[in-house]
Structure 1
Amino acid sequence: MSGKGHRELTRQSETKNGRTAIIEAAESLFAEYGLHGASFRQISEAANQKNASAIQYHFGSRDQLVEAVFENRMRYVNPKRLALLEEVQPTGGTEEARALVSTWVWPLAEELRPREEGNHYVQFMARATREKQLVIQLAPADLMTGWFLAADRLKQLMTHLPEQVIRTRLLAASDQCVNCLAAFEAEQAGASPDFELQVETLIDMITAGLMAPMSEASERAMKKRGGRRKKS
């Protein structure tokens, strides 16, 4: 983080309570340096905390701080996902699949809208993914219900594919959602007039990747590993 960015974050932290200031500072620094790359001292300074033990007092450990950062915004994202899921009609096929993917993408994409403290949340999530800590393990299960329910419905639309392929595609789709939105966030796309088009294009890409038939190359790979192709 640049010196200017650090000073701005510190000034904003002066008006927040200690716990919130630490969470927002950690979100920004974890996004830039990684979950283990940002020291407690850096986070405390950015949060304008005079007491060096403030993080231990509020959170106890690094893992609990990471969970708090994840929960801080996901507690708003998940209810939005659940509300959108209720509106998805069981039409079947690609139309329903795209609507379900939208429930994954748009509530998280809304976190890219400009905020006073800056936008770092999805970049934090992408960092967590790259450091091999599955995003779904960073928050209480009740904050991921929207994601899981959409995934379950998507599986029902992908019965033309083998189970191994379904699992791989859903995992890849989740990573694509987070990493593409993180790239948009880094470019401050949330303030761009092209933002809606970017997000809808991402939804198109994820949907196409999930629903596409297996290629001949994938069929051959399946046969080599001894897997069985489901009949359409």
Structure 2
Amino acid sequence: MTAKPASSLDIGMPATESKTSPQAIIDTAERLFGDHGVLGVSIRQIGQEAKMANNSAINYHFGDRAGLVRAIWAHRLPVLDQMRTVLLQDLEQQGMTQDRHGVLRALMLPTYLYVDEDGVHRYAAFFRSVMRWREGRPLRAQEMHASPASERALGLVQALAPDLPHQLMIERLVYASGVFHDMIIDRDHAIAEDHEVAPEDAFLHEAIDMMAAMIFRPAP
């Protein structure tokens, strides 16, 4: 998958990648995990879809299912974090680090911008599936070192609601980001089926505002 900018929202994208065996496995696993869930597809199926002649290629390169998920993150997160760094720098230069919508936009927009060659948000679908997997959240926590800009953005979110307990804030972020990813996936399906969808800017504004309403409501 190559990260492509979504219309006027371009903040840069990486060069096109060559398809080595590990890269073909990563792209295929990301797509299948997103479409069917992390436990909804077998390692053998991934190998077959990736056109691996050797049935042990995935085990050789990645070990197990969790290792494959980690490999996808290791490949994607640096690019996403680069995008997020640019957004955070813009936010700081504009003096808008106290703006809830702006901070959440900096946190979430890279996921929206990261699309495949067909303009489909494969990574968003993958991420949503992983976070629904029992092992997904602990694995993501272990990979936060690869996302320093995400940690910066999360710190800004927490600073905007200092009265919320940290764990409650994290829970709200998890579920609010789930809604955000679901909205992206539903919009992709609607476009694929030639249904009318909201303009991109309006869609993103609504999605971020919904997240803000979930996250920043008063503590019980």
* Residues 71/150 of structure 1: CA separation in 2 closer, same or farther (3 Å cut): same
Q: TM-score, normalised by structure 1?
A: 0.72
The TM-score with structure 2 as length reference comes to 0.75
Whole-angstrom distance in 2 between the partners of 1:148 and 1:188: 33
Percent identity over the alignment is 25
Change in 2 beyond 3 A, CA 1:164/1:71: closer
Query: C-alpha separation between the residues in 2 aligned to 1:39 and 1:92?
Result: 43
Amino acid at match of 1:128: V
1:62 aligned residue:
65
Which residue of structure 1 lines up, in the alignment, with residue 7 of structure 2? none
Kindly indicate whether the alpha-carbon contact (under 8 Å) linking 2:97 and 2:103 is maintained by their aligned counterparts in 1. Answer: no
What is the CA–CA distance in structure 2 between the aligned matches of 1:118 and 1:198, rounded to whole Å? 16
Which of 87, 95, 98 is residue 84 of structure 1 equivalent to? 87
Q: Distance in 2 between matches of 1:156 and 1:117?
A: 34
Provide the secondary structure at the position in 2 that maps to 1:37.
Answer: coil
Q: Is the 8 A contact 2:80 2:110 kept in 1?
A: yes
2: CA distance, partners of 1:105 / 1:159: 21
| Residue pair 2:78, 2:147 contacting (<8 A) in 1 also | no
For structure 1, list consecutive stretches of 5 or more residues without a partner in the other structure.
1-14, 219-232
Equivalence for 1:130: 132
Please tell me the root mean square deviation across aligned C-alpha atoms, in Å.
2.8
Task: State the distance in 1 between where 2:43 and 2:97 align.
Answer: 49
Question: Within 1, Cα distance between the matches of 2:175 and 2:104?
Answer: 13
User: How do 1:111-190 and structure 2 match up within 5 A?
Assistant: 111-112=114-115, 114-116=116-118, 119-135=121-137, 137-138=139-140, 140-161=143-164, 165-188=168-191
Distance 1:56 1:87, change over 3 A: same
Residues 187-206 of structure 1 mapped to structure 2, 5 A cutoff: 187-188=190-191, 194-206=199-211
Q: Which amino acid aligns with 1:181?
A: I
2:175 and 2:66 map into 1 onto residues whose CA distance is 25
1:136 offset after TM fit, Å?
6.7
Distance (whole Å) between structure 1 residues aligned to residue 30 and residue 170 of structure 2: 29
For the 8 Å contact 1:44–1:54, the answer to whether it is kept is yes
For these two proteins, the number of residue pairs brought into alignment is: 197
